[in-house]
Amino acid sequence: MPVPSGEIIQIRSQGKLREILGFDFESLERIANQAARYYRQFQVTSKSGKARTISAPIDPLKKIQKKIDGRILKKFPLPSRMTGSVRSKSIKDHAQIHTGHGRGAEYLKTVFSGFL
């Protein structure tokens, strides 16, 4: 059951959680206890040629994560200074917050490789 936009919901029972996510509590618990089974791993190569392992969720975990995000987490307003995991924000937006400058401010980009 979709929740009207902007309405913050209270989840006080397994029944309410089932209503919001469309999964019964036992299924959610089983999936959580076997989470490793619901990820697909694959390799991607970065621009520098370094291999990186990606762990991407698969159904039904992927569906649950999307419902949690869309029906619960997106109902909460984000602080205007938040930039991490926000689609419209970039690393430059993050740096500008810390430099105290507006658009067009200079920033230093560093990449640590072989640090550990």
pLDDT tens figures, 18-38: 999 999 999 999 999 999 999
Shared domain for 33 and 16, answered yes or no, is yes
Rounded to whole angstroms, the Cα distance separating 94 from 97 reads 5
Shared domain for 84 and 70, answered yes or no, is no
Q: pLDDT by residue (tens digit) across 78-89? A: 777 777 777 788
| Full 3-state SS string of 17-67 | HHHHHCCCHHHHHHHHHCHHHHEEEEEEECCCCCEEEEEEECCCHHHHHHH
Query: Is residue 115 very low, low, confident or very high in pLDDT (cuts 50, 70, 90)?
Result: very low
Shared domain for 86 and 66, answered yes or no, is no
How many CB atoms are located within 10 Å of the residue 108 CB? 6
Shared domain for 64 and 33, answered yes or no, is yes
Domain that includes residue 21, residue range: 1-77
Shared domain for 57 and 92, answered yes or no, is no
Q: What is the pTM of this model?
A: 0.64
Shared domain for 41 and 95, answered yes or no, is no
Shared domain for 70 and 59, answered yes or no, is yes
Rounded to whole angstroms, the Cα distance separating 30 from 9 reads 24
Interval 63-80 mean pLDDT: 85
Number of domains in the chain: 2
